[in-house]
Every structure is written in C-alpha cells, then in structure tokens.
C-alpha cells in the first residue's frame, strides 16, 4: 500500500469506531449515519465510557495470550481502549520439557500485513520469555491503529491460531466521553468528504473475477463514501468453461477472515453480474465484508475474491 496515507488512516479510524460502536453491548450505541448523532441528546451515556484514569487490560483476560483464541473478538468486546491504557500480554516462557507453546508479541506495520499476517517490517515488542510472570506490558501511547500479532513460526500463530487483533486507542480529552471523541473523529472525516456520490466498478477493468486481490484494490481505490455505488461485473455462466461468481455480504470480520459463509447474505447470484453489472449502494458507516460465495468460499479463500469497505460519511451539500 506504499505508505500509510491520511485517507487510509481515516478509513481505519472510522472503521475502528464503527466496529466499537456496533459491538458494544448497549444497542443504543449502534450508530449509522442515517440516525441522529449523538444518540442521546443530553442523555446519560453508558458508564463504561466514562473512564478517566488509564486502565491496565490483560489481553485475552483469563485466557491470556495463547493459540486458538479469537483476539479480534476479544478486542471488539473489551474495547474501546484509551491512550495511555496498558495492554498486558501473559504467556508462559518456553520450558525445558517442551510442554509450552512459545509466543511473542509483534507490532505489524499496516492493515495489509495484519490481514495477511506478514511479518516483514514488523517490530518485535516482546520475545518468547517476556510474557512470563506479571506479563509483558505495552502502553498505548499514540493515537493510531496498533496491529498486534504473535510472530512465532513466520506468522502461523497469527494466521492459523488467531493470535492477532488491532486497537485504535481513543483520546480521553479531559472530561470528554467516548461519544464526544467519536463525534470529533467523525466530524473530522466529514469535512474531507466532498463531491457527489460515485459509481465504482469493483476491480476496475478486471471486474469481479478469480485471482485478483480485491483487498489491494480496495486499499488503492478507497476511501469510499456513503451513497457511493459499488458495481460488480462478472459474466453469467454460458458453457462449461465459464467460472461463475456471485456476491455475498459476510457476517463479520471473523467470517471474512475465514471465508466462512455461515449467516452470509446473498446479494447477487451468478447471473446478476452481467450487462451493466450488479449495483450495491453504500448506505451506512458500517464495515461491509464482500466475498464471492462460490464453492463454499473457495473463490474467496483461494481466489482472493473478498474485500472490506467501511464507507465514510458524505455530508449533504446544503
């Protein structure tokens, strides 16, 4: 992605805040930009977000930092995190009798390396021994996305063992609540959204097909805004040589990562990508996980036919 641009940063910020908002237990906190903001004018906010002093949070809670635990889910459930909060990674150092699975903690450079568990350019924060005892402590000092992963075995713990998550620490800003912080961020991104809604052909001249990295495409061609239209173009099956496709909306980040179609919604079948293509209007500021669902997700997992979009709000030009 050739450097982390401001636009990408914003997408992430909004992504992070949307995901946090969507995932909080208090349903009133779920926000779409079609709703009023703030959700409770002058009302009381969830006490969870009235935090002022920095917190120490043990990553994974009582599970600690281990193989086969979804830290993405954990982070969404236990967020938001604030600047100066401390994350504690607890894991057993290697023993002579080989009864432990050693782990480590790395900070990955960007969203792409996070998605691919690619350790190139990653910074080792803690080696295999540093998670013992009271654990390894990491203070969230910067207002930017942090991509954490276990670096053992070239990222296998990250890719197969789900040992990764990202955190976008929120500023405390004195008496400001999470809601205000979020509102500010959203305002900042609103100010950048200009122009009118666009039609964007997914994959450009490649269209929607096997073996194109749509994650790369989305990172290069984003950010996208509400009221933009994504157009999926693919040929309907004509003979036995055709490779048909369709378009699904996957349920959440975890299903996206695993190309798991459980609970996914079929948006367009194998015939609907013909002609002018299938059009999908981006309506809400919520992460959308698109994928081809053919052959139970094989086009998604092996053919890279998947991508995430988090539309930014587009203010109406009054």
Ligand X SMILES: *[C@@H]1O[C@H](CO)[C@@H](O)[C@H](O)[C@H]1NC(C)=O
Q: Based on the shown chain and the rule CB under 6 A, indicate whether residue 240 belongs to the binding site for ligand X.
A: yes
Question: Given candidates 72, 73, 86, 129, which one binds ligand X under the rule CB under 6 A?
Answer: 129
| Dist. CA 213–CA 302, nearest whole Å | 10
Can you read off the two tokens belonging to residue 103?
């782990």
* Of residues 101 and 201, the one with the C-beta less far from ligand X: 101
Q: Which of residues 47-76 bind ligand X (CB under 6 A)?
A: 67-68
The residues near 289 (Cβ < 8 Å, ≥ 6 apart) are 249, 250, 251, 252, 253, 255, 256, 306, 308
Verify binding: residue 97, ligand X, rule CB under 6 A.
yes
Token pair for 317: 């030009």
For 226, the token pair is 């509400």
Q: From the list 51, 72, 100, 127, which residue makes contact with ligand X (rule: CB under 6 A)? A: 127
Q: Which of 247, 236, 234, 244 has its CA nearest to residue 271?
A: 236
CA–CA dist 61, 270 (Å, integer): 44
Per CB under 6 A, 219 contacts ligand X: no
Residue 122 binds to ligand X (criterion: CB under 6 A): no
121 vs 263, which CB is nearer to ligand X?
Answer: 121
Give the nearer residue to ligand X in terms of CB position, either 34 or 211.
Answer: 211
**Site for ligand X contains 44 (CB under 6 A):** no
Q: Which is nearer to ligand X, 83 or 184 (CB)?
A: 83
What token pair was written down for 131? 């998670």
Give yes or no for residue 116 binding ligand X (CB under 6 A): yes
Q: Which residue among 211, 220, 266, 296 contacts ligand X (CB under 6 A)? A: 211
Looking at residues 136 to 175 of the shown chain, list those that interact with ligand X (rule: CB under 6 A). 171-172
Residues touching ligand X: how many (CB under 6 A)?
22
**Residues binding ligand X (CB under 6 A):** 67-68, 83-84, 97-98, 101, 116, 118, 120-121, 127-130, 171-172, 210-211, 239-240, 243
């Amino acid at each position: 992605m050739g450097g982390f641009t401001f636009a990408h940063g914003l997408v992430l910020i909004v992504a992070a805040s949307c995901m946090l908002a969507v995932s909080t237990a208090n349903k009133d906190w779920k926000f779409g930009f079609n709703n009023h903001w703030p959700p409770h004018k002058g009302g009381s906010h969830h006490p969870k977000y009235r935090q002022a002093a920095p917190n120490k949070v043990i990553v994974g809670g009582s599970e600690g930092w281990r193989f086969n635990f979804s830290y993405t889910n954990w982070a969404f459930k236990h967020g938001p995190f604030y600047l100066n909060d401390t994350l504690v990674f607890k894991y057993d150092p290697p023993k002579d009798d080989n009864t432990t699975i050693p782990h480590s903690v790395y900070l990955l450079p960007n969203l792409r390396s996070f998605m691919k568990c690619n350790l190139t350019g990653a910074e080792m924060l803690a080696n295999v021994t540093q998670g013992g005892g009271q654990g390894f402590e990491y203070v969230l000092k910067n207002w930017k996305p942090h991509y954490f992963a276990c670096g053992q075995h070239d990222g296998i713990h990250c890719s197969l063992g789900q040992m990764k998550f990202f955190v976008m620490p929120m500023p405390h800003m004195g008496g400001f609540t999470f809601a205000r912080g979020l509102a500010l961020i959203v305002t900042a991104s609103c100010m950048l959204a200009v122009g009118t809604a666009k039609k964007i052909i997914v994959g450009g001249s490649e269209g929607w097909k096997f073996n194109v990295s749509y994650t790369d495409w989305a990172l290069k061609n984003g950010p996208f805004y509400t009221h933009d239209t994504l157009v999926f173009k693919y040929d309907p099956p004509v003979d036995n040589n055709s490779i048909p496709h369709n378009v699904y909306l996957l349920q959440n980040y975890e299903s996206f990562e695993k190309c798991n179609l459980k609970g996914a919604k079929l948006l367009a079948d194998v015939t609907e990508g013909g002609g002018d293509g299938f059009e999908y209007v981006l309506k809400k500021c919520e992460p959308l996980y698109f994928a081809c669902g053919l052959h139970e997700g094989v086009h998604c997992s092996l053919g890279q036919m998947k991508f995430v979009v988090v539309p930014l709000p587009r203010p109406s030009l009054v």
